[in-house]
Structure 1
Amino acid sequence: MLERYFRIRYDIYVKRRQWRSVARPINIEMDAFDTEHAIYLMALDSAGKIVGGSRLVPTLQPHLLGDVFPQLAVAGPPRASDIYEWTRFFITPALRSRGGPSPVAGVVLCGLLEVALKLGIRQISVVCESFWPKRLRALGWSIAELGDIMQHEDGDIIALLIDVTPDAIGSTRRAYGIDRPIVIDLPSPA
């Protein structure tokens, strides 16, 4: 499943979005932060096919903001045991909605916040495209911009720090018409 996840990331980030900085000679998109410390979030359809996903990386470990783009955080990249970095958010192209929010995006965003809250993550940092602050605030998320927008070969980017709260989960559920938790607790192996 994880290999399929990396192949979807390749399709989205390298082939479709043409991010040159993550291009590799194989059809898998992995970077230096795909380590044993990464937490992978995957949205699955009823047949178990990956339709969306994202990744969380502890900020006490190497991560994108701290190790590649520290200049995006004027006061320095935030690092703490209860702050994780959010990267590689995606929805498979066939399930994106033109002119409106994708229901799968709501699933991934709610799942992200639910998992973070369950894990005791207080805040999430993110390096993202410059249009994200407006979208996240519209969802009711409390965010702080850590610095100015920077021009990058793959698009204008900015660093954010997001508070993980039950209110953010509730407002995101309402925005996407989701009436119950996304993340299910799976039984432990016997």
Structure 2
Amino acid sequence: MAAIHVVTWNNRRQYRRELERYFRIRYDIYVKRRQWHALARPINIEMDAFDTEHAVYLLALDSVGKIVGGSRLVPTLQPHLLGDVFPGLAPAGAPRAPDIFEWTRFFVSPALRSRGRSSPIAGIVLCGVLEVAHKLGIRQISVVCESFWPKRLRAFGWSILELGDILQHQDGDIIALLIDVTPEAIASTRRAYGIREPILAEAATTG
């Protein structure tokens, strides 16, 4: 089973190769496959303004160290997607607090996606987002996502607040959410995917 490795500014050198591959996978998914042309660069690496020393990366690595999924958490007291690019998605204001982080760049390796159903790797990454957030003392996570996500996440037992209306965007309809990080959400997501083993790698550090 894949395990979630947590990569921060402090331990990034241990994951130098994995991080480079992570950014190349992001380019393949978001630029080549999803055609997000605004992210196109001369080199096949997708990095944005929020890939800074404050970002926390979640890398799902299989038994041979291959990246099979990933995601990113960014503190909302720093510049982030909702607060600085899509503030109109939260008319009352983007939530900002030391214990609120933004969740972005969720992906599963295209080769491991399951047609017509959610991939088991998706379950590992989703659980990883919640478990890492809980471990770091993050109370809530905000996210700008496609409009189908609220229904899907609620089906997993996540407690969600929609921060505004759906926005019709050139890359697809999007909405902003605020999600509670709770042990109940972790447990229900684990049950939904039949996950019984620890998913956080022992070697993963957040210091």
Q: TM-score, normalised by structure 1?
A: 0.97
Larger RCO (CA under 8 A, 6+ residues apart): 2
Report how far residue 26 of structure 1 moved: 1.4
Q: Which runs of structure 2 are paired with 1:4-15 in the superposition (5 Å)? A: 4-15=21-32
Find the partner of 2:191 among 174, 177, 186: 174
Q: SS in structure 1 opposite 2:196?
A: coil
SS at match of 2:186: helix
Q: Whole-Å Cα distance in 2 between the matches of residues 187 and 154 of structure 1?
A: 34
State how far apart, in whole Å, the 2-side matches of 1:185 and 1:63 are: 29
Query: Number of paired residues?
Result: 188
Distance in 1, Cα, partners of 2:197 & 2:191? 10
CA 1:70–1:187: 2 relative to 1, 3 Å: closer
Distance 2:136 2:174 in 1: 27
Q: Does 1:22 align with 2:35?
A: no
Deviation per residue, 1:72-130 (Å, 9 max, x gap): 00210000000000000000100000011100000000111100000000000000000
| 2:111 counterpart (94, 111, 125) | 94
The whole-number CA distance in structure 2 between the counterparts of 1:122 and 1:181 is: 21
Cα distance in 2 between the residues matched to 1:139 and 1:34: 29
Counterpart for residue 60 of structure 1: 77
Give the SS at the match of 1:47: coil
Among 105, 109, 129, the residue aligned to 2:122: 105
Please report how far the alpha carbon of residue 187 of structure 1 lies from its aligned counterpart in structure 2 after TM superposition: 7.8
Whole-angstrom distance in 2 between the partners of 1:64 and 1:5:
19
- Which of 34, 45, 55 is matched with 2:51 structurally? 34
Distance 1:85 1:142 in 2: 16
Deviation at 1:21, TM superposition (A): 2.1
Within the candidate set 180, 193, 201, 1:184 is matched to 201
Alpha carbons of structure 1 residues 74 and 187: separation in structure 2 relative to 1, 3 Å: closer
Aligned to 2:164: 147
Q: Secondary structure at the match of 1:57?
A: strand
How many angstroms does 1:20 deviate by?
1.6
Aligned to 2:20: 3
Q: Measure how far apart 1:181 and its partner are.
A: 2.7
Amino acid at match of 2:47: M
Q: How large is the Cα RMSD of the aligned pairs?
A: 1.0
Structure 1: stretches of 5+ with no match in the other structure: none
Q: Deviations over 1:4-32 (max 9, x none)?
A: 10000000000011112212221000000
TM-score norm. by structure 2 comes to 0.89
The one-letter amino acid paired with 1:12 is I
Structure 2: tracts of 5 or more residues without a match: 1-17
Which consecutive segments of 4 or more residues in structure 1 shift more than 3 A? none
The answer for the alignment partner of 1:84 in structure 2 is 101
Give the CA deviation at 1:180.
2.8
The 8 Å contact of residues 20 and 154 in structure 1, kept in 2 or not, is answered as no
SS state at 2:127 partner: helix
Counterpart CA distance in 1 for 2:165 and 2:124 is 29
